[in-house]
Amino acid sequence: MKRDFRLRDNHALKLAIESKEPLVILYLIEPIMLADPHMDLRHWRFIYQSLQDLNEQLEEFGAIISVLFGNATDVFDEISLKYEIKNLFSHEEIGLRHTHERDIALAKWCSKNQLNWTQLSYGAVYRPLSNRHHWPKLWNERILAEPFSANLSEGEFLNNIENTLGEKFQFAIPTLWQSPSIAMQLGGEKRAWFTLKHFFKERGKDYFGNIGDPSASRKTCSRLSPYLAWGNISLKQIYQYSLANSGRKGWSRSITAFQSRLHWHCHFIQKFETEADMEFRPVNKAYLPFPYCKDNLQESRLTAWKEGKTGVPIVDACMKAVIHTGYLNFRMRAMVVSFLCHHLNVDWRSGVTFLAAQFLDFEPGIHYPQFQMQAGVTGINALRIYNPVKQSIDKDPDGHFIKKWLPELASLPSPLVHQPWLMTAMEHAMYEFDCERDYYLPIVNVEAAAREARERMYLFREHPSVKREAKRILSIHTT
């Protein structure tokens, strides 16, 4: 198992059972993942919960997942000393460079040891794909296909192989992983299905209307992203369920908007699959020398952004919310990135890993392309510099979201809560609130910073090298 913690629509599991050989269901805790700064305790908890959920379901079939520790090739070396391995089945992982390098090393190991490794495709992502000419057709082919159904009662399972291997390959799950956070979604295939059904029962009806609202969207958006990211449910299952629910009275805009986002899911991951170097550089390479602010200023601005201390309430509230709950709706994700890269003029590479570690649904193939798009370094997308004050007034008019995450602003009435730095001396006295004393003054002048960012971005976009790269990107990544 990799990022595919589910028993249903699991092609790898189906083929493994059909191979009619004794079968080990294996999950590896790898040092590269433990050391990965994109991974946070919240992710390990989600993984642990997902494993628990699968083990509960597997019990009636006499199976249990073996959890081993070590580098993939070392672990397989050890297993092959005790067992004759005939086949390895897994899904393709559209991951970061270190997991890609692990896969290359493991593929070499398999070929050296004459073992067949079948890697099944991930959703509607194609490997390789040199252009998007037939993308809509390819997407439909995969997503509308019958889900894979593994007949678990036919499996002959080999359990607890960790006990037969050397001690260094055994892993005691830390107690912290085992204690769930009440503020975060819980992992597991059963939870994923509950969330999907709950969405279509009632709460998804207002999906479209509330999509930009940082408070209401927590309930009316599907909240399926962590389950998709960790494979508790497949995109195919969700899309087909949504088709079965199409045509309901009063749901039409919401279902259409939801389904288009399911298309985007694979569209972005396909981009990353095709050009995974964007983990380290802007997809438009001409943005490499972009004039971000000087290092010491970058550092202090970045720290204020990370800690929710920029003095711009909606930005700070979002950062506190995501740190605490692992979730933000799309608009607020886009806005905090826009604020970091445009208003604060901080290099996107400085913030991208931090935010990944906060998102419970961290999905490299969506996160990196989305982050770069909002940072304006693709050269092909319309430039979006969100005005955080306007977003705050439009999307959180009563300031409920801000006040929940910044209780120090709770006494302020709604017009003032969006821009407390504009309060007059009389208002200070009236509300017994002083922006500098009780909260923070904004670290930049929001209007002036946006103006400067716009000038910087538009000027840079005119470079012939940016345009050349934009052409290249369009020819590879768009239909």
- Asked if 200 interacts with ligand FAD (CB under 6 A), we say no
Beta bridge partners of 152: none
- Contact by Cβ (8 Å): 73, 28: no
- Asked if 330 interacts with ligand FAD (CB under 6 A), we say yes
- Asked if 236 interacts with ligand FAD (CB under 6 A), we say no
- Contact by Cβ (8 Å): 376, 341: yes
The conformation of residue 152, written as its DSSP 8-state character, comes to: G
Question: Closest separation between CB of residue 48 and ligand FAD, Å?
Answer: 20
- Asked if 232 interacts with ligand FAD (CB under 6 A), we say no
Among 222, 350, 391, 419, indicate the residue that binds ligand FAD (CB under 6 A).
222
Residue 413: other Cβ atoms inside 10 A: 11
Size of the site for ligand FAD (CB under 6 A): 27
Q: What angle do helix axes 72-82 and 97-112 make, rounded to 10 degrees? A: 30
- Asked if 340 interacts with ligand FAD (CB under 6 A), we say no
Residue 306 vs 467, nearer CB to ligand FAD: 306
**Residues 107-126, interacting with ligand FAD (CB under 6 A):** none
Helices (H), 376-462: 388-395, 400-405, 414-418, 425-431, 435-438, 446-461
Residue 260 vs 300, nearer CB to ligand FAD: 260
Question: Closest separation between CB of residue 366 and ligand FAD, Å?
Answer: 4
- Asked if 43 interacts with ligand FAD (CB under 6 A), we say no
Question: Closest separation between CB of residue 75 and ligand FAD, Å?
Answer: 28
Residue 264: other Cβ atoms inside 10 A: 12
Q: How far is the C-alpha of 48 from the C-alpha of 396, rounded, in Å? A: 35
Residue 169 vs 371, nearer CB to ligand FAD: 371
Question: Closest separation between CB of residue 206 and ligand FAD, Å?
Answer: 12
Q: How far is the C-alpha of 434 from the C-alpha of 420, rounded, in Å? A: 9
Q: Classify the phi-psi angles of 230: left when phi > 0, otherwise alpha if psi is within -120 to 50, otherwise beta.
A: alpha
Residue 17 vs 233, nearer CB to ligand FAD: 233
Question: Closest separation between CB of residue 23 and ligand FAD, Å?
Answer: 30
- Asked if 377 interacts with ligand FAD (CB under 6 A), we say no
- Asked if 333 interacts with ligand FAD (CB under 6 A), we say yes
Region from 16-24, 35-43, 48-56, 325-333 binding ligand FAD, contact rule CB under 6 A: 325-333
Region from 92-100, 161-169, 339-347, 365-373 binding ligand FAD, contact rule CB under 6 A: 365-373
Q: Tell me the chain's radius of gyration from C-alpha atoms.
A: 24
At position 324, the amino acid (one-letter code) is H
Residue 311 vs 365, nearer CB to ligand FAD: 365
Give the pair of three-digit tokens for residue 353.
């890993």
Locate tokens 């000038």: which residue? 455
- Asked if 337 interacts with ligand FAD (CB under 6 A), we say yes
- Asked if 237 interacts with ligand FAD (CB under 6 A), we say no
Q: Is 231 helix (H, G, I), strand (E, B) or coil?
A: coil
Among 72, 229, 286, 322, indicate the residue that binds ligand FAD (CB under 6 A).
229
- Contact by Cβ (8 Å): 63, 24: no
**Residues 245-304, interacting with ligand FAD (CB under 6 A):** 258, 261-262, 264-265, 268
Among 2, 45, 367, 403, indicate the residue that binds ligand FAD (CB under 6 A).
367
Q: Is 23 helix (H, G, I), strand (E, B) or coil?
A: strand
Q: How far is the C-alpha of 231 from the C-alpha of 51, rounded, in Å? A: 12
Those residues whose C-beta lies under 8 Å from the C-beta of residue 479, and which sit 6 or more positions away, are: 132, 133, 135, 136
- Asked if 359 interacts with ligand FAD (CB under 6 A), we say yes
Region from 23-31, 176-184, 225-233, 288-296 binding ligand FAD, contact rule CB under 6 A: 225-233
Helices (H), 245-399: 252-274, 295-307, 313-325, 330-338, 348-358, 364-375, 388-395
At position 432, the amino acid (one-letter code) is E
Question: Closest separation between CB of residue 378 and ligand FAD, Å?
Answer: 13
The residues that touch ligand FAD, with contacts defined as CB under 6 A, are 221-225, 228-229, 258, 261-262, 264-265, 268, 329-330, 333-334, 337, 359, 361-363, 366-367, 370-371, 374
